[in-house]
Structure 1
Amino acid sequence: MASPTFNQLRDLVNARIDSLSLSLHQDINKKIHANPELAFKEFFAHDLISSYLESLGFKVQRSSHELETSFDSSIGAGGRQVVFCCEYDALPGIGHACGHNLIATSSIAAFLGAAHALVELKLPGRIRILGTPAEESGGGKAVLIDNGAFNPPEDIAAAIMAHPLATHSLNRIGAEYSGLAGLIFLASYKFRVEFRGKNAHAAGEPWNGVNALDAAVQTYTNISMMRQQIRPDERMHGIIESGGQASNIIPDYTRMSWGVRAPTLERAEKLFQRAKACCEASALATGCTVEIIQTPTYANLRANETLCKAYVEDMAAIGEQVHLHQDKPFTASTDMGNVSHLVPSFHGAFAVPTAPGVALHSPQFATAAATHEGHDAAIKCSKGMALLALRLLVDEDTAKAAWADFELPDDIE
C-alpha cells in the first residue's frame, strides 16, 4: 500500500475514534463496568451495545447465532472480511476484574473507526463486529464457532481483539511497553465433577451413609499431590462448589469445578485424563458414583507473526511502543484460542496503569479498569486494530501472508 493512502486511512480512523471516545466512555465503558454480568447472562451489555450501534446507523442482528447475548453487525460487501470480537462478561463477586468493559470499548471503537474509513473511501471488503459472550466460563466463542459465526472461514482475513493487562505485567518482558502484539495463552480443559452418595445422620448412624464430601476432598488431595509431577508451564486448579447442607448430615451430593492448562491441546488432554483418573479413584474409594461434565475446551492462543508485525508498525505511527511477541505463554487461557485455530487471529494486549503487584482477577484490577487511564489505553489500542483491519482489506500481500503464517504448525512442544 502506498504510504500517502495509508496515512489517509490513519487520519480517518483516528479522527473518527477520537470523536466517539467520550460517548464510548460514558455510554459503553462506564455502564458495562457498573453492571457486571456473568456468562451467557449479559443481557444489559448486549442491549446497550446493540442500541449504541443502531444509534449510529448500523443494522444489528440481536441474539445472533443461537445465543441470546451475542450480536452481529457488519458493513461493506464482497471481498475479504475482518471480524472484531467483542467481550463483555464479568467474574462472579469481583465484576470486571479482567477488564472486559475495556475489551468491549476497544473492539467497538476499532469497528467504528475502520467502518468510517471503509465508507468514506469506498473500500472493498466487509468489516464485522461480533458479540462474544461467556469468555470467562462457558466458551462462548467455541459455541459461536459451532453455530457458524465464522463460516466460511476462508473468507475471513482475520479475527481481531485485545485484552487489558496491568502495566507491570508487560514491563516484565523488558522495556516499558504500552502493549503487546503476540499474546500467547495456554490451552484449557474446564470441567465439573459431581459425586453422589447417600445421606445419613452423621452422629447417629454414619455407617449407613456414603459420603460424597469425602470423594470431593480426596479428589482435591489427589490432584494437589499430582501437581508435583507436572511441568512448570502446566496448571491444575479447582474448588468445591457444593459440599453439603449441614455438618450433622452425611452429604449425598458434592460438586467441584476444575481447570487444567498446558501450552498445547495435546498436553492439556493428557493432563485432563490424569485429573479424570483422580476423580474416578476417589469415587471408587468412597463408594460414590461420579459424573464428569466438560464445558467447551479452550485451545491454546496462537500468535500470527504477520498480524503482530503490522500492529506494532501501526501503533508506532501513533507513538506507542508495543512488544512484538512473548517467548513463553502467559499461564492463562481464552476461548479466542479456538478462533486462532480456525482463522488468522490477532489477540494483543494494552497496558492499564495499576499499583505495583495488582493482578488480573482481583478487585484492584476491577477498579483500574474503570479509570480514565484505562479507557485511554483501550482507545489507543483500537486505533491500531482498526488500521490492521483496513490493511488486511486493501493489501493483498498482507492478507496472504497472514494466512500463510496461520497454516504453519505450532512450534510449542
Structure 2
Amino acid sequence: METSSTDMEQARELVNSRIDQVSQELHEKVNKALHANPETCFKEFFAHDTLTSLLELHGFNVTRSSYGLETSFDVCVGDGGRQVVFCAEYDALPEIGHACGHNLIATSSIAAFFGAAHAMCRLNIPGRLRLLGTPAEEAGGGKAKLIDAGAFDPPEDIAAAIMAHPISKQRLNSNASLGDISGLAGPKATANHKFHVEFHGKTAHAASGPWGGTNALDAAVSAYQNVALLRQHIRPDERIHSIFEVGGTVPNIIPDYTRMNWCVRAPTIARADLLLERVKSCIGAGAAASGCRVSYTPSPTYMNLRANSTLCHAYVEDMDKLGKKVIALHNEGAGSTDMGNVSHVVPSFHGVFAIPTDPGVVSHNPNFAAAAATDGAHAEAITCAKGMAMLALRVLADDSIASKARRDFETPDETH
C-alpha cells in the first residue's frame, strides 16, 4: 500500500496533537515517577505497575508480566498485517539511579505509542502497533530473554522495532564535524560478552603455613595483569574491563575463593568472539599459574547494533519537519545495548536524542541522572516521540519503506 503525502501530513497533525495532549501526564506519571523510584534489572516492579496501570487507564488491553518475565508487559492495537514494536526501557543503575536516562526512554516510547495508535485508529491505517516493556537493559539482557521467549515471533511479521536513548547534548556536539545537532538516527553500539569468573583454591594460615594454601586472589590478580598486557595488542575500537567482586576476607587467611566480573567488547559479534577467546586464555593462565580451578558464568551476550539505513533516513526526514537536525548514520560509539540483539532478529531503529546537561557530563554519572529529571530533557523526549511515531506509521502505511527496511536488514552493512 502506498500512502499519499496528504494522508501522512494528516497523520502528523494527529500524532503531534495527541502527544502534546498527553505530555504533561507522562511527565508526572512516567518520567518523574520512574526517576524518583529507580529500580535495577528484573526488579522494576514499581515501573511495571505504574506503566501498565497508566496504559489501562487509557483503555489499552495490557498483558502484564509477559513472556515469563515479571516486569515485562505487552500492549497491541490493530489486527493483522505487518507490525511495528515500540520498545520501552525503565531499569536504572545501582546507587546512581537513572543515570542512563531510562525514565526518558519509557516516556518517549509510550508517547510515541499513544501518538501512533491515535493516528492509526483515526485514519484506519492497517497493521499492528505494539508497546513492549523491556526490563533489565543495563545488566540482565532483558531483550535477549524476550527474544528467546518469542516476543518477536514470527520475526517476518515485524517490519520494525523502534526506540531511542538520551545522550548529553554537550557530548553529542563535541564533534565539530557534526555541527550543532539534536540527535543520531543510527549510532554505533558494540557487541559485549559479559561474564563472571570464579577462582577456587585452598585456604591456609597466611603466616604459619601459607605453603599449604592455593591462593585464589593470586589467580584473579594474575588474570587481571595478563589482560592488562593484552590490551596493548588489541584494536583501538575494542574494550576489556573488569572488577573484583570478591577478593577474600581477612589478610591472614589465604583466600580460597575470588570472583571477578568482566566485559569484552568489539564492533561486531564476530570480533567480540575472537577477543573473548584471547581474554579467556589470559584468565586460564592466571588460574594455571596459581594452581586454582576456574569457572565461568556467562550473562546474555549483547550483539552489536545493526543500523537500518531506510529507517534511519525516514526518521531524519520526520525530525527535520519538527525543526530538529539529526544525523542519519554515525560510525562512532563504544557502548552496548541489548537492542543490538533485536536488530539481528528484525529491522530495528535505535536513535539517540540530546538532552541539556552541564559541560563534561556523560551517562552513567550522577549528574546525568539529575539532567534526566529536567523539564528540558522531557521536552526532548517528547519531540523524539513524535518522530518515532511517524516512523512507525510510515513503515505500516508505505510498502516501499517497509520493503526497503527489510532489504537493509537482510543485507546489513557491518562496516557501520
What is the deviation of 1:204?
Answer: 2.5
- Alignment equivalent of 1:166, drawn from 149, 165, 168: 168
C-alpha offsets along residues 148-175 of structure 1, whole Å, 9 cap, x if unaligned?
0000000001000000000122212511
Q: Name the residue aligned to 1:149.
A: 151
Give the match's secondary structure for 2:205. coil
> Quick check: 1:379 aligned with 2:379?
no
CA contact (8 A) 1:263 1:329 kept: no
Aligned equivalents of 1:108 and 1:256: distance in 2?
37
What is the deviation of 1:294?
Answer: 1.0
- Alignment equivalent of 1:241, drawn from 223, 228, 245: 245
- Alignment equivalent of 2:307, drawn from 303, 323, 330: 303
CA contact (8 A) 1:186 1:329 kept: no
Aligned equivalents of 1:194 and 1:295: distance in 2?
14
Q: Name the residue aligned to 1:231.
A: 235
Aligned equivalents of 1:203 and 1:112: distance in 2?
67
Aligned equivalents of 1:31 and 1:248: distance in 2?
48
AA aligned to 1:399 is A
C-alpha offsets along residues 230-262 of structure 1, whole Å, 9 cap, x if unaligned?
000000001001111122222111110000111
C-alpha offsets along residues 70-102 of structure 1, whole Å, 9 cap, x if unaligned?
100111101110000011111112111111110
Give the match's secondary structure for 1:65. helix
> Quick check: 1:344 aligned with 2:351?
no
Q: Name the residue aligned to 1:99.
A: 101
CA contact (8 A) 2:316 2:326 kept: yes
Aligned equivalents of 1:138 and 1:203: distance in 2?
41
Aligned equivalents of 1:410 and 1:282: distance in 2?
38
Q: Name the residue aligned to 1:285.
A: 289
- Alignment equivalent of 1:191, drawn from 195, 204, 215: 195
> Quick check: 1:54 aligned with 2:56?
yes
Give the match's secondary structure for 2:237. coil
AA aligned to 1:347 is H
- Alignment equivalent of 2:71, drawn from 69, 72, 91: 69
Unpaired segments ≥5 residues, structure 2: none
What is the deviation of 1:410?
Answer: 3.0
- Alignment equivalent of 2:141, drawn from 128, 139, 142: 139
AA aligned to 1:267 is R
Q: Name the residue aligned to 2:262.
A: 258
- Alignment equivalent of 1:2, drawn from 1, 4, 9: 4
CA RMSD of aligned residues (A): 1.0
C-alpha offsets along residues 159-195 of structure 1, whole Å, 9 cap, x if unaligned?
0000000012221251111111111111111111011
Give the match's secondary structure for 1:191. strand
Give the match's secondary structure for 2:254. coil
AA aligned to 1:285 is A
C-alpha offsets along residues 43-89 of structure 1, whole Å, 9 cap, x if unaligned?
11111111110110111111100111110011110111000001111
- Alignment equivalent of 2:320, drawn from 316, 336, 352: 316
CA contact (8 A) 1:124 1:394 kept: yes
Q: Name the residue aligned to 2:369.
A: 366
CA contact (8 A) 1:244 1:253 kept: yes
Unpaired segments ≥5 residues, structure 1: none
Give the match's secondary structure for 1:207. helix
CA contact (8 A) 2:198 2:260 kept: yes
Give the match's secondary structure for 1:410. coil
Aligned equivalents of 2:44 and 2:227: distance in 1?
33
TM-score by length of 1: 0.98
Q: Name the residue aligned to 1:176.
A: 180
- Alignment equivalent of 1:15, drawn from 4, 14, 17: 17
AA aligned to 2:389 is A
Aligned equivalents of 1:147 and 1:95: distance in 2?
28
Aligned equivalents of 2:13 and 2:333: distance in 1?
34
What is the deviation of 1:147?
Answer: 0.6
C-alpha offsets along residues 307-342 of structure 1, whole Å, 9 cap, x if unaligned?
01110000111111111110x230111010011011
> Quick check: 1:407 aligned with 2:393?
no
What is the deviation of 1:224?
Answer: 1.0
CA contact (8 A) 2:65 2:73 kept: yes
What is the deviation of 1:133?
Answer: 0.8
AA aligned to 2:339 is M
Q: Name the residue aligned to 1:125.
A: 127
> Quick check: 1:206 aligned with 2:210?
yes
Give the match's secondary structure for 2:61. coil
Q: Which moved further from structure 2: 43-52 or 166-175?
A: 166-175
What is the deviation of 1:202?
Answer: 1.8
Aligned equivalents of 2:354 and 2:226: distance in 1?
38
Aligned equivalents of 1:27 and 1:330: distance in 2?
32
Give the match's secondary structure for 2:87. strand
The count of corresponding residues between Structure 1 and Structure 2 is 412
What is the deviation of 1:364?
Answer: 0.9
Aligned equivalents of 1:316 and 1:296: distance in 2?
37
Give the match's secondary structure for 2:378. helix
